[in-house]
Structure 1
Amino acid sequence: MTDKQVLPKVTKITAQKRQGRYNVFLDDHYAFPISEDVMIKFRIFKGMEIDDQLQAKILAADDVSKAYTRALAFLSGHLRTEKEIKQKLQENEIPETTIEATLKKLRGLNLVNDLQYAGSYVRTMARTSDKGPIVIRRNLRAKGVLENDIDEGLREYPEEQQVENGVEIAEKLSHRYRRDPVSKMKQKVRQGLMTKGFSGDVITQILAKTHFEMNPELEDEKLQNEFTKVWHRNRRYPFMQRKLRTKRTLYSKGFQSDDINRLLDQQVDSQ
C-alpha cells in the first residue's frame, strides 16, 4: 500500500509592517508573502495544506494584487487610459500576463474605461484649454483611446462651444498681432486657430464673429513705418526696380495695393 503524500501545511501567518500584507510559513519555514485580499480569496488558514499547484495559483494572484495596488496608486485622483496604466506597470517590470489580469480586474470594477475617459478628457480640454477637436483627437490617440471612443467623447465639445471658445482665442491672437495690417492679422489668426486644432468651417465662423480693430490712422502708421524700412533697404536698386521690390514686399506683408501705390507715387528718383 502506497503511503499518502504529505503536503506542506500552513504553520504560521504573520503581519508585515506594510498594512494588508502577510508572511506565510509552511512547516515552520517562511514560504511566501501574500496580500489580505488573496488570503481571503483562497481562504488560507493555519493548518491548511498547500501543494505546489495551489501555491503557484496563490502567488500569481498575489502578483495581480500587487499590480492592482500599484495601478490604484497611479489612478489616485486621476482618470487614466488602459494604455497609460499598462505603460506604468511595464515600467515596474511586471509581466504581461499579470498586467492583462490586472486590467481585467480594473475593467470589471469600472476603474478603467476609455470611453468614459474620452468624454471626461474632452470636457476638461474644452473648458480649460485653447485646443480644438483635431488636437484633442490626436492627444487621445496618443493615450491609446480607440477611434470610436474618441468620436463619442468629442460629442462633449459641440460646434457652438468650439466657436465660442475660438472667438476668445482669436481675439487674444489678434491682440498679439496688432502691429500687423488687418489682412495679415486675420491670416495669422486663422493659422493660429488651425494649429490649435480647429477645423476650417469652424474657423470661418470664428473669424466672422471676431472683432478685429481697424483704426485707419493706425493702419497708415503701420504702413508708413514699414514702407520707410523697406524703401531704405532697397536703396541700392534702380528706381523702378526699387519701387517694384518695395511693393512686392509690402503686399506680402498684408498691406493693400492702393495704399502702397499712394506712397510709391510720392517718391522721386534721386539718382
Structure 2
Amino acid sequence: MKITAIQAQKRKGRYNIFIDGHYRFPVSEEVLIQFRLHKDQEITDDQIKVITNADSISKAYNKALDYLSYQLRTEKEIIQYLQQHEFTDLQIKPVLQRLRAQGYVNDLEYAKSYVRTIAKTSDKGPKVITQNLRKKGVLENDIETALEEFPFEDQLQNSIKIAQKLARKYHREAFKIQIQKIKNGLFAKGFSSEIATEAINQLGLEKDEDQENEQLHLQGAKIVRRYQRLPLSQRNQKVKVALYRKGFSMDEINQFIDEQN
C-alpha cells in the first residue's frame, strides 16, 4: 500500500491520509511529523495501527491540555475526564506520563494550592479539606504534606470567626446548648476538637443569668402547656427531661418546677 495524498482539513492541525487513492484515516500535525508521513510512502496495516493509536493519544493529550487550561487538576480528574470522552486506559497512560514530565500535573502541588485557596477563601477546616482531596484522588502522604500550608494559627483565626457567627446565631439558647452548638458547628466545618475548644475559649463567653432564667421560663411554660393534661408527677417528670435536654441545669429546672407547682 502507498500513501497517495495528504490533505489538510478545515480544522487547523488535522490532516486526512489517502492510501491507494482512497481516504483511510486522519492524523494530527504532531503525528504527521512524528512518523514523517509523506506522499508515495509505502505503508503496512501494522504501521497504520501504530499511527492511528498515536493519533488517539495525541487527541487525548490535547483534550487534557484543554481541560487543564481552566484550572489545575489531579491525575484522577484527568483520567475521569478522558474516560468520559471514551479514551482507553492504554491511551490515557502515556498522556499522564507526558503531563507529569512537563510539570502540567502534580498532585502534591495541586493539593498545596487547594489547601491555600480553601484556607483563605472559605470556612472549611482540615478534615473537610482532607475529604475533598481524597475524592480528587490525592494520596494520604500528599494530603498530609499539603495541610502544612494551613498552620494551627490560621486554623484558629478562621475558627474564631466562625464561632463568633455561631455565638450570635445561638445566643438565645441555654448557655450549655449554645456552647455545644458552636462546637458542633466547628466540627461540621472540619476543625478538630482542640481548635474548637480553643476558639470558644478565645470568645470569652459567659453565662448571662438573667437571660438564662428568661429562656428557662419561656421554654418551660411551653413544655408545661404541652403536658398540662398529665398527672402532676408525670407532667413534672416530662418537663424536667425536656428542659434538661435543652441545656438547663437540674437546680434551675427544679426551682422552675417548684414555682409552677
**1:26-78 residue CA offsets vs partner (Å, 9 max, x unmatched):** 23321210001111222222333323333222111101011112112222211
**1:69-106 residue CA offsets vs partner (Å, 9 max, x unmatched):** 21122222111111111111111221110011211121
Query: What is the deviation of 1:234?
Result: 2.2
Query: What is the deviation of 1:247?
Result: 2.1
Equivalent in 258, 261, 266 of residue 254 of structure 2: 261
245-254 or 8-17: which moved more? 8-17
Return the letter of the residue paired with 2:198: Q
Return the letter of the residue paired with 2:186: L
**1:91-145 residue CA offsets vs partner (Å, 9 max, x unmatched):** 1221110011211121121111111111111111111222211111111111111
Aligned residue for 2:149?
156
Tell me the TM-score normalised to structure 2 length.
0.93
Residues 7-18 of structure 1 mapped to structure 2, 5 A cutoff: 8-18=1-11
Equivalent in 173, 184, 198 of residue 191 of structure 1: 184
Query: What is the deviation of 1:211?
Result: 4.8
Check conservation: 1:171, 1:211, Cα contact below 8 A: no
Task: Tell me the secondary structure at the aligned position of residue 260 of structure 2.
Answer: coil
Query: What is the deviation of 1:225?
Result: 0.9
Residues 1-271 of structure 1 mapped to structure 2, 5 A cutoff: 8-212=1-205, 214-268=207-261
| Alpha-carbon separation, structure 2, partners of 1:255 and 1:116 | 49
Task: Tell me the secondary structure at the aligned position of residue 266 of structure 1.
Answer: helix
| Alpha-carbon separation, structure 1, partners of 2:200 and 2:38 | 72
Check conservation: 1:24, 1:31, Cα contact below 8 A: yes
Q: Mind listing any 5+ residue stretches in structure 2 that lack a counterpart?
A: none
| Alpha-carbon separation, structure 2, partners of 1:175 and 1:59 | 64
97-106 or 233-242: which moved more? 233-242
Task: Tell me the secondary structure at the aligned position of residue 15 of structure 2.
Answer: strand
| Alpha-carbon separation, structure 2, partners of 1:210 and 1:79 | 38
Check conservation: 1:83, 1:144, Cα contact below 8 A: yes
Query: What is the deviation of 1:253?
Result: 0.3
110-119 or 242-251: which moved more? 242-251
Task: Tell me the secondary structure at the aligned position of residue 25 of structure 1.
Answer: strand
Q: Mind listing any 5+ residue stretches in structure 1 that lack a counterpart?
A: 1-7
Return the letter of the residue paired with 2:246: K
Provide runs of 4+ in structure 1 moved above 6 Å: none
Query: What is the deviation of 1:215?
Result: 4.1
Q: Say what the alpha-carbon RMSD is for the aligned residues.
A: 1.8
Return the letter of the residue paired with 2:31: V
Question: How many residues are paired up?
Answer: 261
Return the letter of the residue paired with 1:142: K
Q: Sequence identity, in percent?
A: 48
Tell me the TM-score normalised to structure 1 length.
0.89
Check conservation: 1:64, 1:99, Cα contact below 8 A: yes
Return the letter of the residue paired with 1:236: R
Aligned residue for 1:5?
none
Query: What is the deviation of 1:149?
Result: 0.9
